[in-house]
Structure 1
Amino acid sequence: MYKGYLIDLDGTIYRGQEPIPAGKRFVDELKRRNLPFLFVTNNTTRSPETVSERLENEFDIKVAPATIYTASLATIDFMKADNAGNKVFVIGEAGLIDLILAAGFTWEEENPDYVVVGLDNHVTYEKFVLATLAIQKGATFIGTNPDKNIPTERGLLPGAGSLISLVETATQTKPIYIGKPEAIIMDKALEKIGLAKKDVIMVGDNYETDICSGLNNGIDTLLVLSGFTQKAEVATLPEAPTFVLDSLDEWDFEVQKR
């Protein structure tokens, strides 16, 4: 059986501000069985502490901040390992900017070493201008995650990938992507949960990010049809997930690894 679970949040545990009841029951069962789990999310707008508080206050899911690994944390880990400077300009929100600055990086708009682009609900044209000019001067271009859309109760809204694509077009420069489905965030997630690839399964609603993060990195996958990827698309997916379910309520924790 699987010894640990890597789990997406948006579209899997909740949808915008709308709870997905099966998601809570899934987490409760993991806790009851004492199975290790780590939420691996491309969401950069909130810190792990804020995500933990939101899960408890809005969805009655009580988990420690240490069980949440965001693309913001993975971006910081990447820049520290890359070690190409500590000056940074960021398009993003507090969950990204505050963590980067707290990690020892300094804000620089004219000549940064890194330009990091994530989701920003208050993005302006001037922010895009600063990012574009800095990348043209040689700053390393980092995209926190490629999500084109975010599943919400209103529908599929523009995601970080949409903003990153604008900067890529303006600069004719491809970004270094950090979040799912890249190996960068998945390798770090495995370090944090302390398990090997063969012993975990990646659970999520988005084939392009959650499921491909498993397929591309040798990890079994569970696609749940509660968010981004729709049931009608399953038959035409380029590579099948290990498992596909309509709801997490259908998951058998005793299932044998394939």
Structure 2
Amino acid sequence: MTLAHDVHGSGPEVLLLHSTVGDRRMWDPQIGRLGARRVIRCDLPGYGESPVAAEPADVAALVLELAGPQPVALIGSSGGGQVALEIAARWPARVRGLALLCAAAPSLEPSPRLRAMWEQEETLLEAGDVEAATELMVRSWVGPRATGETRALVRRMQQHAYEVQLAAADVDDLDTGWSVDTVAAPVLLVTGAHDLPDFHDVAAGLAARLPRARHVELDWAGHLPSLEDPEPVNRLLRDFLDSV
């Protein structure tokens, strides 16, 4: 299986991994704004133009196949952040820097608020109300600085993902048995003050565990800061990429 992807620019490689409420279109505000770099963005299985995998897939390996032989920088948002973290843990020599935006991680223990939201989402999808489930996700994950255009994009990406995934057979996740303790690259951890506190806790835990990690909290941001107000996030990412 080859993931749908596109490539922009030239220079040191950067892989962009989207949130699971979006697809690779969420990185539109970063294309051409991360400096002189070769930027690769892909759709994870079941999102955007990538189909659901027909059998358990090693998603981290599929993503890394898109990169060249030289070490790559990874930028991951939310669920895509966990995929980026896995790549950095399993292939530390292949990763020169890791930026995680409101990322999930194996250490995530959902709070009652997050668990209730997931249960509501599941109830709506089981009832066939994709539109209501989509609106729940937009309300829950898009922060206050986002424009109406940004909310509409998240709505389109999320609804498309539901439609693709609901039409496919269920496939179990592949357990690759990795640990964050093998991450060797410098790590930038970004969280938003308007996001669910679960993701702040994940970042704080990773910052305490990884010796080369730095945690930055954005007082204006929700769960998708690279979409909600791209330019300050682009500056933060450019500075980090320059440093690695």
Give the TM-score normalised by structure 2. 0.38
- The structure whose Rg is larger is 1
In proportion to residue count, which structure has more strand? 1
